Structure 1
Amino acid sequence: MIISTWGISLREMWEGFSACDLRFKDVALRLGGARVLRQDPFECLVQFLCSSNNNIGRITGMVDFISSLGVYLGSVEGFDFHEFPSLERLSLVSENEFRAAGFGYRAKYIVGTVKSLQSKPGGGAEWLASLRNLDLNEVVEALCTLPGVGPKVAACIALFSLDQHHAIPVDTHVWQIATRYLIPELANARLTPKLCIRVAEAFVSKFGKYAGWAQTVLFIAELPLQKALLQPTFESQKKKKSIRNKGESGFDEHSGGRECQTHNC
């Protein structure tokens, strides 16, 4: 049985999610290894500052540059590994140095966030770790006081490093997933801050207190590379379901299947 960091059975969780949602069931058959990591909060924060309006290739390059500033750990098969640099180490890097490394406008956010964290009582690392003891709304509000951190980035940090398992980072991609499978009645609406809350509520209503984990798997399935790999399987399963469910009532393809009775997946 697959066990997560918190002693949670991922197999049981995935089975619960699959029972609630046919889309998740389809995806889970091929993405059973997708899961949420509990990152160091400072590392997670810096990485998501790099991700703002960016692509995976450039994000990887930026994170590699920052990592290279940390303590050298060794080399494996030609790849050098470093410890992620501390807050103090990053405070020695100027905005111009970051810009020269290709960070663009994100450079000022990283430098500004580092300075802001250094001014926190007890130090930035301690302040970030303390957010694990707060409610999600309080966590998002606190993180949004840092330069370059908005509600979506704050939700990402909360989910991946601050134990907020029901946090839903809503962007246009998650909006499309939600309107395709959870709230199709809003498919033609324009995403607004109010509807971002509606999307998050829809995920939590469907998947429960670990909704952020389910959302992550569904998000991964929409990435171009994964989508290309999954498409043949989905097409085959769709044909089988169409034959099996022919003549049945109560099946809603747009919502991903029948609603889970308890929503307590």
Structure 2
Amino acid sequence: MGISLGELWEGFSASDCRFAELAKYLAGARVLRQDPVECLLQFLCSSNNNIARITKMVDFLASLGSHLGNVEGFEFHEFPSLERLSLVSEVELRNAGFGYRSAPQSSLLFSCRRSFKQAKYITGTVDVLQSKHSGGAEWLLSLRKLDLQEAIDALCTLPGVGPKVAACIALFSLDQHHAIPVDTHVWKIATRYLLPELAGVRLTPKLCSRVAEAFVSKYGKYAGWAQTLLFIAELPSQKAILPSDFCAMEENKSAKTKER
């Protein structure tokens, strides 16, 4: 809360007229500074999953922690420590539904082979963190002192963590405010508004770096915060907040870009 969101938004708006328009309707998009252990485990749950499944998985993990209370029918728990998580077996996680969403029926065999990777990733990551000499929670906190690429490289040594998930963890829990998690959604935003010359090109790891550089060049050291609002603006629930004429204008611009 020590960061002035108003000042950031003014700076972003000055360099991007589209951001200035979006900020009028989505002004409160603040990046959380999560506990690194909680953030890491949540993003391991998020890979290749939808919101409903992610919520269910995270709720299960949270239920393993100390009970904090009940508010209007909702039970709240402290997120469990690594020590508590180390007592959870891969089988328990599988039984709780930890895995990728089902593949089409035609690829059922492949789906069975991969469907519980998240259970394996979570137990594997907890084991690796528990083996850290300084303790896993302390090791994760120490990554806040590193450069962004060093932090991402360190996170990628954990089971199930790739560059995109590592960038998410870096942005939301390791004070790496210019981290840009590049997925297909962010790629579409980048090719529509920052790098239109790449529209229609297949996303590659090298182009992920170029997208991140484009965001930082445009928005500066808090580029990850700007990207967060632009990402939110693409969600159907948030598009409903935007005026219909603004959405129509966006669609026309997108169509013209595709024609070029």
Partner SS, residue 241 of structure 2: helix
- 1:42 aligns with 37
- 1:30 aligns with 25
Q: What does 1:89-238 align with in structure 2 at a 5 Å threshold?
A: 89-104=84-99, 105-230=117-242, 232=244, 234-235=246-247, 238=249
Aligned with 1:19 (options 6, 11, 14) = 14
User: 1:229: Cα distance to partner?
Assistant: 2.7
Q: How many residues align?
A: 236
Q: Which moved more, 1:122-131 or 1:225-234?
A: 225-234
User: 1:11: Cα distance to partner?
Assistant: 0.5
CA RMSD, 1 decimal: 1.6
Q: Tell which has more relative contact order, 1 or 2 (C-alpha 8 A, sep 6+).
A: 1
The separation in 2 between residues aligned to 1:198 and 1:49, in whole angstroms, is 25
Partner SS, residue 60 of structure 2: helix
CA-to-partner distance for each residue in 1:117-176, whole Å, 9 max, x for gaps?
001121000000000000000000000000000000000000000000000000000000
Partner SS, residue 28 of structure 2: coil
User: 1:235: Cα distance to partner?
Assistant: 4.2
- 2:106 aligns with none
User: 1:225: Cα distance to partner?
Assistant: 1.4
Partner SS, residue 25 of structure 1: helix
Larger helix fraction of residues: 2
Among all aligned residue pairs of Structure 1 and Structure 2, give the percentage whose two residues are the same amino acid.
76
CA-to-partner distance for each residue in 1:38-66, whole Å, 9 max, x for gaps?
00000000000000001111100100010
The separation in 2 between residues aligned to 1:192 and 1:23, in whole angstroms, is 27
Q: What does 1:231-250 align with in structure 2 at a 5 Å threshold?
A: 232=244, 234-235=246-247, 238=249
8 Å contact 1:23–1:181 — kept in the other structure? no
User: 1:103: Cα distance to partner?
Assistant: 0.5
The separation in 2 between residues aligned to 1:62 and 1:28, in whole angstroms, is 32
8 Å contact 1:90–1:114 — kept in the other structure? yes
The separation in 2 between residues aligned to 1:179 and 1:114, in whole angstroms, is 37
Structure 2 letter corresponding to 1:43: E
Q: TM-score, normalised by structure 2?
A: 0.88
User: 1:23: Cα distance to partner?
Assistant: 1.9
Gaps of 5+ in 1: 243-252, 255-265
Runs of 4+ in 1 over 6 A off after TM superposition: none
User: 1:234: Cα distance to partner?
Assistant: 1.3
The separation in 1 between residues aligned to 2:247 and 2:47, in whole angstroms, is 34
The separation in 2 between residues aligned to 1:183 and 1:157, in whole angstroms, is 25
Q: Please say if 1:62 is aligned against 2:62.
A: no
8 Å contact 1:166–1:210 — kept in the other structure? yes
Q: TM-score, normalised by structure 1?
A: 0.86
8 Å contact 2:68–2:76 — kept in the other structure? yes
